[in-house]
């Protein structure tokens, strides 16, 4: 009787714990990407935090300093470069004004005079009226593009609440990361050795995925800067660094840089160089990540590149931007679990 009561209590406890965990997951799900992103930064930067902790005896101060250094290293350059590129794009669209004094804009409107006259005659409008209408629509389109870019960048930042949660997660990971690791190892039903194996697998894949992001940023930044230099744009280094920074953003990525660069060339009247920048950006800069990222991840995950590529694309399809990280991690954990299962079956057969 006592055994039945103990079993019922155990089952009830498991059910309640599962329900509570599901509710907790439901509450934090809107902030999951922010929390995971902060945790990834903490894992990558933890060796630096350990060095700082050896110099600063108070753990809370060491965690605060590490958090501050990470924020400065990642956010300040990003904000400066995005502001610069946005200003360049705004200036380009303002140059589309028919009254603009720029030679490039004048050449563009001069080239459009004959087609506009033909269209105006067909519509029963004066060429000057049609020209003003077209300029107004182009500037409205430019404002809309800028608004969408700013909205995307604001969504990437996640708003004030998500920023606070992200900073808090980063600080807590630095402060309690070692203790959390020990508790997971002790409480895991898989046993210390297998738990350590899984944690090490996740750790290696997180590092590899992060370095994959850095490698893609470097490749896209180098190619975008090279394209800007070939096209004769001023400050090609700035264009390249800006492309490297925004390459981590969802949907648009480095297109937020090479597309405005092409627009600037068109506005300047350099049609051929503008077309070159479009082809260079879409055909080379925008696709290089499909080759670089799997190669970097493969250093820690010895499988065929196609498997890694599919894992990344499937992860993005299932989990959004964080799927770039989730896909390889899930694949690596699955492979590790299969190895453990094979060892367990082999041990059972020998017994």
CB atoms within 10 A of CB 234: 9
Give a yes or no: residue 10 inside a domain: no
The range of the structural domain enclosing residue 323 comes to 32-340
Closest residue by Cα to residue 226 from 271, 285, 279: 285
Q: Is the model's pLDDT at 85 over the cut of 70?
A: no
Give a yes or no: residue 9 inside a domain: no
What percent of the chain has pLDDT above 90? Answer: 1
CA-to-CA distance for 70 and 47, rounded, in angstroms?
13
State the pLDDT at residue 9.
Answer: 75
State the pLDDT at residue 50.
Answer: 85
Region 22-37: mean pLDDT is 82
| Range in 40-44, 125-129, 326-330 with the lowest mean pLDDT | 125-129
| Range in 8-12, 43-47, 310-314 with the lowest mean pLDDT | 8-12
State CA 26 to chain mean position distance.
24
State the pLDDT at residue 250.
Answer: 58
Confidence of residue 226 (pLDDT cuts 50, 70, 90): very high
Give a yes or no: residue 335 inside a domain: yes
Give a yes or no: residue 27 inside a domain: no
What percent of the chain has pLDDT above 70? Answer: 72
Region 226-253: mean pLDDT is 80
Region 61-76: mean pLDDT is 84
Q: Report yes or no: 257 and 246 within 8 Å, Cβ to Cβ.
A: yes
Give a yes or no: residue 250 inside a domain: yes
State the pLDDT at residue 157.
Answer: 47
Closest residue by Cα to residue 36 from 335, 329, 292: 329
Give a yes or no: residue 111 inside a domain: yes
Tracing tokens 């140059």 back to the chain, one arrives at 95
Instruction: Share the mean pLDDT of the chain.
Output: 75
Confidence of residue 97 (pLDDT cuts 50, 70, 90): very low
Give a yes or no: residue 296 inside a domain: yes
pLDDT in tens, 106-165: 555 555 555 555 555 565 565 666 566 666 655 555 555 555 555 555 554 446 677 788
CA-to-CA distance for 199 and 177, rounded, in angstroms?
13
CB atoms within 10 A of CB 211: 16
State the pLDDT at residue 120.
Answer: 54
Instruction: Tell me which range, 70-74, 118-122, 276-280, 335-339, is most confidently predicted by mean pLDDT.
Output: 276-280
Q: What are φ and ψ of residue 126, in 5° steps?
A: -70, 145
Domain count, the chain: 1
Q: Report yes or no: 239 and 92 within 8 Å, Cβ to Cβ.
A: no
Q: Within a 13 Å sphere around the CA of 17, how many CA atoms are in the beta-carbon half? A: 6
Q: Is the dihedral of CA 21, 27, 29, 35 positive or negative?
A: negative
Q: Report yes or no: 41 and 70 within 8 Å, Cβ to Cβ.
A: yes
Burial label for 242, CB within 10 Å (0-12, 13-18, 19+), is: buried
What are the structure tokens assigned to 125, written together?
Answer: 């409008």
Q: Is the model's pLDDT at 234 over the cut of 50?
A: yes
Region 202-229: mean pLDDT is 87
pLDDT in tens, 162-204: 778 888 888 888 888 888 888 888 887 888 888 888 888 888 8
- pTM value is 0.65
State the pLDDT at residue 187.
Answer: 81
Give a yes or no: residue 299 inside a domain: yes
């Amino acid at each position: 009787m006592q055994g039945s009561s103990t079993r019922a209590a155990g089952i009830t406890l498991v059910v309640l714990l599962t329900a509570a965990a599901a509710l907790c997951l439901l509450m934090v799900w809107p902030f999951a990407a922010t929390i995971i992103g902060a945790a990834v930064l903490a894992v990558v930067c933890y060796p630096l935090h350990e060095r700082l902790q050896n110099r600063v005896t108070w753990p809370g101060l060491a965690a605060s300093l590490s958090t501050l250094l990470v924020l400065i290293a990642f956010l300040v350059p990003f904000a400066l470069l995005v502001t610069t590129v946005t200003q360049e794009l705004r200036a380009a669209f303002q140059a589309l004004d028919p009254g603009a004094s720029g030679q490039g804009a004048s050449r563009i409107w001069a080239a459009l005079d004959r087609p506009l006259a033909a269209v105006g005659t067909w519509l029963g409008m004066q060429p000057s009226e049609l020209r003003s209408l077209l300029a107004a629509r182009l500037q409205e389109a430019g404002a809309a593009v800028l608004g969408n870019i700013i909205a995307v960048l604001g969504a990437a930042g996640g708003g004030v609440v998500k920023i606070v949660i992200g900073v808090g997660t980063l600080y807590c990971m630095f402060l309690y990361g070692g203790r959390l690791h020990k508790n997971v190892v002790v409480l895991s039903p898989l046993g210390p050795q297998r738990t350590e194996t899984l944690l090490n697998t996740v750790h290696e894949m997180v590092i590899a995925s992060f370095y994959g992001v850095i490698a893609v940023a470097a490749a896209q930044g180098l190619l975008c800067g090279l394209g800007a230099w070939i096209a004769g744009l001023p400050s090609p280094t700035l264009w390249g660094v800006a492309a490297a920074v925004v390459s981590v953003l969802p949907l648009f990525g480095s297109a937020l840089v090479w597309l405005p660069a092409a627009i600037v060339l068109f506005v300047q009247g350099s049609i051929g160089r503008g077309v070159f920048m479009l082809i260079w950006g879409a055909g080379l800069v925008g696709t290089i990540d499909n080759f670089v990222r799997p190669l970097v991840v493969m250093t820690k995950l010895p499988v065929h590149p196609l498997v890694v590529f599919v894992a990344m694309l499937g992860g993005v399809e299932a989990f959004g931007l964080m799927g770039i990280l989730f896909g390889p991690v899930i694949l690596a954990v699955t492979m590790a679990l299969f190895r453990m299962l094979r060892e367990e079956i082999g041990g059972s057969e020998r017994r």
